[in-house]
Structure 1
Amino acid sequence: MTHLAPEVVGASGTAHSRTGTGTPDAGAVSSPSAARRPWTSRRRVLAVAEGVVSITAALGYMLLSRRIDVNPIVRLGQVSGLATLQLYAAVIGLPLLGLLLYTAHRGAVRRHQLVKRLVCAALAGLSTGVIAGGIVVALHGTPHPLGGQEGDPGVLIDMANSFLHHEGMSGIYPPAFPALMALWAKIRYNGRGETGFALHDLQIFFTAVAGPMAYLAWRILLRPFWALLIAVPAAVLFLDPIRPYSHIVMIVLLPLLGYWLREMRLAGRRGTRHLLVRGLVLGLTFGALFLWYSGWYIWAAPGALVAALFFFPWRQGAATVKKAALYIGVTLLSAGIVGAPLLYQMVRLGADNPDRYAFLAVYADPGYVLGWVSDRSGTLTYQTWPVAGEMAGQSGFALLLLFGVGLGLGLGMRNIMVRTAAAVLAGAWLARFWFAGHMAQDRAIQLYPRTTWIIMYCLMILAVLGMMAVVNRGTGWIERTLRPGGAGPASGSASGSASGAGLARVVPARAVRQLAAGMVCVVALFGAMGASWSVNRYMPSSDVDSMGIDAYRAHVIKERDGSCPRFSPRANCWDIEKDDWKPGPIQNFIWCAGIVADDWPAVCGMEAPKRVRSRADIERDAEADRKARQEAAQKEKDAQKR
C-alpha cells in the first residue's frame, strides 16, 4: 500500500521510507529508549527546525532586499532590481544546493536526511522571499501599498479605518485581515490615516511567509521533496501580493483537510484524548482560516462533505463510530465558535450582496481552467485569450498535467489525499459551471472564476501524487522483478522483515538519494525563475490595463509630511484618504469591466452606463495626455535654456 506518510506522522516504517525521495531509514535507531537518540533525530525538534529555517530564509531574504537602491519607476532600474534579486538568491541558494549534493554523494544517510529536510525548508522560504523582495523593490521609496488607495486595497484601508473607529465588521467580508491592519497601524503608526502604511507592511510580510506556510502544511502529510514539489509551484503561481492572505488560505486548506479526514478515518486506532486534541486544534485552525478568507470554503465544501461521508468509519463498530462522531463534533463546534461572527453576517446579509463584477475571465470559455487573468489584462480580449493549444485547444503543459492526474487517479487512489483532492476538484468543477450557467439569468457572477485556482491546484496535487505513486510502485516492482532468485531470505525468517535489512538492493540507495538531490535543484531553479516572473508583473507602470499600475499608484500618493514619494513621476500627488468603509449601492446589472461602451451591447446585452468610456473617449484622452507630456518636456527644455 502506498502511503503519503506513516499512520503516525513522523514515525518510522516501510511506508514512510518508500517515498521515492530517499532511502529507507538505514540509520534508524533500534533502541527503544528515546533518550539514546541524538537530538537531530527527534521528530518535534526537526519539525521546529524546519519551520524556523523556512521562515528565517523568507524573512531574511525580504530584509536583505531592502538594500537594493534603484529607481523602480524607470525600466532600467526595474531590470537592475530584478537582476540583483536573482543574484542574492543565487548567493544564498547555491551553497545550500551544493551541501545537499555533497551529502547525497558523500557521508552518512542520517546526515543527508537532515540536510535535505533543512534545505527543502529553506528553498520553500526563498521562493516567496524573492517575491516579497521584488515587492520591496517595486515599492522602494514609498510607504504606500500595492494598489495605493484604489480597488481592493482602498476597500481594505477603509475597512481597517472602520475597525479603528470600533464600527465592527464590514458586511460579509472576512474581518481578520482588516482587523490586523488596524491593529498594526495602531501599534506601528499613528492609527487612523495610516492603515495604508500597515497594508504596505502586511502585503510584504505575508507574501514572504506564503512559501513556508505552504511547505509546512504539506509536511504534515508528505516527506520533504514531495512537499516542496507542491508548495513551491503553488505559492509562486497562485500568490497575489496585493492580497496574499487570500491564496495562503487556499494553499494550506487542502492539506489540512486531508489530514483531518485521515484522522477521522483512523479514529478506531486513536485514543479519545488524541481525537479531542486533534479535533480542537484543527477546528480552531479551520475557524481562523475562515475569518482570514472564507471564499475557498464555499468551493471546497461540496467535495469535502462527500469525502467525509465516504471516509467515515461506518463499518468499524459502534465504539469507532462514536469516537469519529466525537472528533467531528469537536471540530465543528470549535470552528463554529471561532467563525461565528462571519457566519452570522453571511446569514444576515449574504442574500443582499450579490457579485456582479465581470472581467476577462468571465467573458472567456468557462471550460478553460489552466490559466488566469486579472481585471487588468492589457490588450487581451476574450477572442485572443486563452491562446489555443496544439490539441483541441489544449497546450502541451495541459496534456502533461492531465497525464500526471491520470497517474494519480490510477495508481494513487489508496492515498487519502488523492481522494480528497479529487473530491474537492469535482465539487468545485460542478459549482463553477452551476454559477456560470445561471449567470445570465440571475445577473450575478458569484466569483465563479476563482474556482480556476482551486481546480488547478487540485490538478497539480493529483499530478505530483501521481508521480509519487509511480516512484513508489516502480521501485517496488523493480526490486521484486529484477532481484536474482534466492537472493532474499526465506519467507518468515527474522531477516525477512519489512525493513529489508541486510538485502542488497537492485536500485542502489545512494543513487536514489543522488537523483532526489538533483530534482531538488531543479525545483529550486524553477522557484527562482518563477519568482522573477511573478515580481516582474508588478513593477510600476502607468498603463492602467497592466498589473504594474498597482505599484505605480503607490508612488503617486503623498507621504505623511505632504510631499511626494522619492521616485514619484508626478509633481502633484494625491492626498491620503481617511474614509471609513460604507456599503456601496447594489446595482441590478452585471458591470462589464474592461469593455468599451461601443461593445457593451454585444458583450453585456445592454447599453453602457454613461460613465463607461467609448473608443473615441479613450483616443481623445490618450491624445491629451501625449500633448501634456510634450508641453511639459518643452517647458523643461526652455527652463534649462534660461
Structure 2
Amino acid sequence: MTHLAPEAVGDAGAPAQRPGEPAQSESRPSPSRSGGWLSRRWVQILAEVVVSVVAALGFTLLSRHIGVNPMNRLGQVSGLARLQLHVAVLGLPLLGLLLYTAYRGSARRHALVKRLVCGALAGLATGVVAGGIVVALRGTPHPLGGQEGDPSVLVEMANSFLSGEGMSGIYPPAFPALIALWAKVRYDGLGSSGFALHDLQIVCSALVGPMAYLSWRLLLRPFWALLIAVPAAVLFLDPVRPYSHVVMIVLLPLLGYLFRELRRSAGRTPKSLVLRGAGLGAVFGGLFLWYSGWFVWAAPGAAVLFFFLFPWRAGAPAVKRAALYVGAVLVTAGVIGAPLLYQMARLGSQTPDRYAYLGVYADPGYVLGWISDRTGFIKYNQWPVPGEMAGQTGFALLLILGVGLGVGLGLRHVMVRTAAAVLAGAWLARFWFASHMAHDKAVQLFPRTTWIIMYSLMILAVLGVMAAVQRGSGWTERTLRPASAAPSARVIPRRTVRQLSAGMVCAVALFATMGASWSVNRYMPTHEDTDLMGLDAWRAHNIKLPNGKCPRFAPNKDCEDLDVKLWKQFKDDGEIWCANIVAKDWPAICGRKAPFKDKSVE
C-alpha cells in the first residue's frame, strides 16, 4: 500500500536493521545521548516553523537595503539581480549542508537537516517575491495599486472600520479589519490605511510560502510537502491581494487533514475529539473570515466526499465519535464565521458579480492559465495561445499524466480523494455558473475556479509521482532481493535514496528562485500605457505623501492628491460590464451597446 505520510514524520532516512544487530528501538540512543531536547518531536516541529518564517521575513527585511531606482528598467534589472545574489548566498550553504549530511551524516541528523532546509527554502521562495515588492515600492509608502482598483476598495473598507461603520457587505472582513487595526497602531488612523496596506502586502506575501509548506507538512514528508508548496506559492501568489490565494493553498491540505482525522476518530477519546475538532474548526472559521471564496468552490466536492468517508457502517460507537468530531468542527467554525455568514444570508442575492474581463471571454474548458484585467492589450481572441495537441500544451499533457498516476495508484488515500473531489466540485460549479451567465447577466466569479482546479491537478500529479515512486521501490525490493537475503536487506540502499532526495530538493530550490524572479518581474513598475501588472506599482509612486510632496521616484511632478474615502456599495444596473473591450466591439462581445465612447473617437 502506498503511504502518503508516515505516522512519525521525519524518520524516512532511518537505516535498515542488519542481521545480528539489535532492533532499531533498542539501538537508538537515549535523548540525553542524541542531542537531548533536539531529538524531541515537538522541538523539531517548532524549529521547522521558526526557520521557515524567519527565512521569509528575514529575506524581506534584507531586501530593504537594495538601493535602486525602481522606475527605470536598468534599476529594476539590478534589483532583480541583487535579489538573486542574496538568495544564492543564503541558499547555497543550506543546500551544501543538506548534500553533506546525505553523503556523510547519520540518518537521524540528515532527517533533521532536511526538514529544516525544506522549511527555509519554502520561506525564501516567497521571501524573494516579498523582497521584490519592497524594491518595486522603494521610495513610496503607498500600496500596490495606489488609489485604484481592488486596493482602493480595501482601503475604503478599512476607513469604514476606522469610522465605526463595521462590516462592508458580504466581503470577508478580517483583512480590511487588520488594515484598519495596523493603521491605528502603526500610523495615524483614518487616512493612513493605504500605508498599512503597503506593509501588509509585503508581510503577507512573505508568509505565503511558510504557510503553504507547513500546512502540507500535516500530511506529507518534507520533500513532497516542498514539491507541492513551492510551485503553488510562487504561481498563485498575488502581492496585490496576498491574503486571498493563501487561503486556497492551505484549505485543501486542511480538508485532507480533516478527513484523515475523521477516519481515525473511532480510536480517540471524546475529549481528544472535541479539542481536535474545536482547534481545526477555529482555523476554518478564521480562514473563512480571511477570504471565503475558496470555501464556496471547495464545498460541493468536500460535502460529497464527507458522506463517503463518514463511518456509517462501523457501529454506533464509531458513528457517535465521528459525529462528535464533525460537530466540534462545524460549531466552532460556525461561531467564528457567524458575522460573515449572516451578511451573506442577508445580502448575498443583492450583490451579484457582473464584472467581465479577458478570462471570461476565453474557452471555459481552459483551466491551466490565468490572465487578469491587466492584459497588456491582448485581445479576447488572442488568449490563450493553443497548444500542440488539441489545444493542450506539453505541460498540460504531463500534468494530466500525473493526475492519472495519482488517481490510478493513490485513490485509497485521503488526500488524493480530497483533491479529486474538490476538483470535480469546482469543475461542475464553473460550468454551471458559466452556462447561466448569458441568461442571468452575472459572472459570479466563475473564472476564479481556474486557480483551485489547477491547484487540485498539481496536487494529484505530485501525489501520483509519489505513489509511483513508492510502488516502484516496493516492487523493486520484492522482486530483485535474492531469496537467501535477510528480510531487512535492501536492494536500493537507504543512503542512495537520501542522496537522490537531496538532489531533488536542490532542483526544487532552483525552480523556486527562477519562479520567484518571474513573479517579481511582473510587478516592477510600468507606465499605465502598457496596461501590465506593473501598473499597480507605478500608481503607488504617483500619489502625494502626507506632507504634500511627491514620492522620491514619482514619474510626474504633479502627482495625485491623497484621498480619504469610505466604502460604498455600487448600484447594480443588472448588466454585465465588459472590461478590456473597446466600445465598437461591445455589441459582438457583450450583446449590447457600450455605455461609453472610445477615446480615439473622441
Shift of 1:613: 2.6
Partner Cα separation in structure 2 for residue 480 and residue 615 of structure 1: 73
Q: Distance in 1 between matches of 2:538 and 2:234?
A: 22
- 1:239-250 alignment to 2 at 5 Å? 239-250=237-248
Secondary structure of residue in 2 paired with 1:397: helix
Whether 1:613 and 2:598 are equivalent positions in the alignment is: yes
Select 1:226's aligned residue among 224, 230, 234.
Answer: 224
Structure with max Cα Rg: 1
Please give the residue correspondences for 1:213-362 in structure 2 after superposition, counting only pairs within 5 Å. 213-362=211-360
CA distance in 1, matches of 2:601, 2:24: 74
d(CA) in 2 for partners of 1:11 and 1:562?
56
The 5-angstrom pairing of residues 90-489 of structure 1 reads 90-489=88-487
Whether the 8 Å contact between 2:477 and 2:491 is mirrored in structure 1 is yes
Q: 1:557 aligned to 2:543?
A: yes
- Report the counterpart of residue 54 of structure 2 in structure 1: 56
Q: Is the 1:299–1:427 Cα contact (8 Å) retained in structure 2?
A: yes
Q: Match for 1:226: what amino acid?
A: W
Distance 1:28 1:567 in 2: 63
Deviation at 1:382, TM superposition (A): 2.4
Aligned pair partner of 2:575 in 554, 569, 589: 589
The offset of 1:35, in angstroms, is 5.8
Aligned pair count? Answer: 594
**Native 8 Å contact 1:86 1:528 kept in 2:** yes
How far apart, CA to CA, are the structure 2 residues paired with 1:379 and 1:415? Answer: 45
In the TM superposition, 1:492-503 aligns within 5 A as 503=488
Q: Deviating runs (4+, > 2 A) in structure 1?
A: 8-12, 22-41, 612-617
For residue 601 of structure 2, give the secondary structure of its aligned residue in structure 1. helix
> Shift in Å at residue 509 of structure 1?
1.0
Amino acid of the structure 2 residue aligned with 1:595: I
Distance in 2 of aligned mates of 1:235 and 1:285: 20
Letter in 2 for 1:580: L
Deviations 1:129-174 (A, max 9, x none): 0000000000000000000010000000000000001111000000
Q: What's the RMSD between the two structures over aligned residues?
A: 1.5
Where 1:76 maps in the other structure, the secondary structure is: helix
**Amino acid in structure 1 at the alignment position of 2:46:** V
Tell me if structure 2 keeps the 8 A contact 1:9–1:220: no
The alpha-carbon deviation at position 39 of structure 1 amounts to 2.2
| Matched residue type, 2:408 | G
Give, in whole Å, the separation in 2 of the partners of 1:34 and 1:269. Answer: 29
Q: By how many angstroms is 1:538 displaced?
A: 0.4
- Residues 82-137 of structure 1, C-alpha deviation per residue, up to 9 Å, x if partnerless? 00000001000011111111111112111111110100000000000000000000
TM-score (norm: length of structure 2): 0.97
Distance 1:128 1:376 in 2: 22
Q: Secondary structure at the match of 1:616?
A: coil
**How far apart, in 2, do the equivalents of 1:252 and 1:303 lie?**
16
Tell me what 2:491 maps to.
506
Normalising by structure 1, we get a TM-score of 0.91
Contact map agreement 1:103 1:111 (CA 8 A) in 2: yes
Q: Flag the 1:439–1:112 CA change in 2: closer, same or farther, 3 A.
A: same
The Cα shift of 1:410 comes to 0.4
Query: What code does the residue aligned with 2:546 have?
Result: R
Residue 24 of structure 1 deviates from its aligned partner by 5.6
Provide the rounded CA distance (Å) in 2 between the counterparts of 1:122 and 1:438: 46
- The CA distance in 2 between the partners of 1:362 and 1:427, in whole Å, is 19
Q: Secondary structure at the match of 1:378?
A: coil
The answer for unaligned runs of 5 or more in structure 1 is 490-502, 618-642
Query: Which one-letter code corresponds to 1:2 in the other structure?
Result: T
In 2, distance between residues paired with 1:109 and 1:239? 35
Partner of 1:4: 4
User: For structure 2, which runs of at least 5 residues remain unmatched after alignment?
Assistant: 18-22
* Deviation (angstroms), 1:504: 2.4
Report what 1:519 is aligned to: 504
Q: How far did residue 254 of structure 1 move? A: 0.5
- CA shift, 1:546, in A, is 0.6
- Which of 541-550 and 521-530 deviates more? 541-550
Instruction: Label 1:65 to 1:439 Cα distance change in 2 as closer, same or farther (>3 A).
Output: same
Equivalent residue in structure 2 for 1:572, among 523, 542, 558: 558
Q: 1:24 and 1:575, CA in 2 relative to 1: closer, same or farther beyond 3 A?
A: farther
Q: 1:278, 1:253 → 2: CA distance?
A: 17
| Secondary structure in 2 matching 1:256 | helix
Q: Counterpart of 2:74?
A: 76
CA distance in 1, matches of 2:92, 2:579: 45
Identify the match of residue 535 of structure 1 among 511, 516, 520. Answer: 520
Q: Judge which range, 401-410 or 503-512, deviates more.
A: 503-512
